Structure formats: C-alpha cells, structure tokens
Amino acid sequence: MNVAPEFGGAACPHTAETQACDHGPCPVHCATSAFGAWSTCTKSCGTGSQSHSRTVTSEPTKGGYVCPYLDEVRSCNAAACPVDCKFQAFSNAAWSTCTKSCGAGSQQRKRAQTEPTFGKACPHYTETRP
C-alpha cells in the first residue's frame, strides 16, 4: 500500500511497469456490401423466383471470419396462371333430331368446352336452327 508523502517526506517509487509484447497480427474479418434490390420475378404467375446479391468488400485475412453467403433466392408470384376457355368447333358437333316430325321445329347442337380459370370467358356453346 502506498501513502502519499507529507511534510517533505520522500516520494513513492513508480507503481506500474509496461513491457512490449507481440501475439501476432490481428485478424481481419470478411466484410460485405448490403444486399441489392430483388430482381424482377421470372414469372408473372405460377410461382417464379427472384434473387438479390451482395459483394465482398474486404477479404478475410490472418484467421478472420469467412465470408457469408452472397446470393439469396426466393419464390414469387405463386398465384395460379389464368386458363382461357377451350372449345371445339361447331362443325365437329352433330345436329339433334328435329323437335317436331312436321311443321316448324328446331334442331340444336352443342360443342364441348372447358370453362376458364380466371381467363377469357367461353362463347355460346349451343346453336339452334329451324
């Protein structure tokens, strides 16, 4: 324990010493830029993908931390794509038997069609003639 000198007493000797040491160079960790903007989705519907990336701004040296991943990919536009109506030509459909055996009757024919899913609507699917 040191006590400060009083009334002309002798000064205390130094209380600490410093010695040089060397434990080798300090590590430099990898550094990256921020991620850029996401790219445009590869599909407008039906699940596409988009990505963004970043770059290395400082390579790791002397045992520094390695660089993290530089690219990310995610899904986008997962909604189903619209499907338009699909139909056959009337020329492929046969006319029905006349509704009357004499006088004014009518015949009808129908064409096959597949209804749309969020796409273009189907036109009429029956024709009638006298």
Q: What is the rounded CA–CA span in Å between residue 115 and residue 65? A: 58
Which has the minimum average pLDDT: 11-20, 44-53, 63-72?
11-20
Write the CA distances from 60 to 6, 53, 65, 68, integer angstroms. 57, 19, 6, 11
- pLDDT exceeds cutoff 90 at 57: yes
DSSP reduced 3-state for 128: strand
pLDDT band at 121 (very low <50, low <70, confident <90, very high): confident
Q: What is the rounded CA–CA span in Å between residue 20 and residue 17? A: 10
Q: Is 99 left (phi over 0), alpha (psi -120 to 50) or beta?
A: alpha
Q: Looking at residues 85-109, what average pLDDT do you find?
A: 81
Please determine whether the domains at 31-76 and 82-130 fall in the same fold group of CATH: yes
- The 10s digit of each residue's pLDDT in 9-25 is 777 777 788 888 888 89
Distance of CA 78 to the CA centre of its chain: 10
DSSP one-letter code for 113: E
CATH level 3 topology of 82-130: TSP-1 type 1 repeat (2.20.100)
**Any idea where the domains of the chain sit in the sequence?**
31-76, 82-130
- The 10s digit of each residue's pLDDT in 32-41 is 999 999 999 9
CATH level 3 topology of 31-76: TSP-1 type 1 repeat (2.20.100)
Prediction pTM value: 0.52
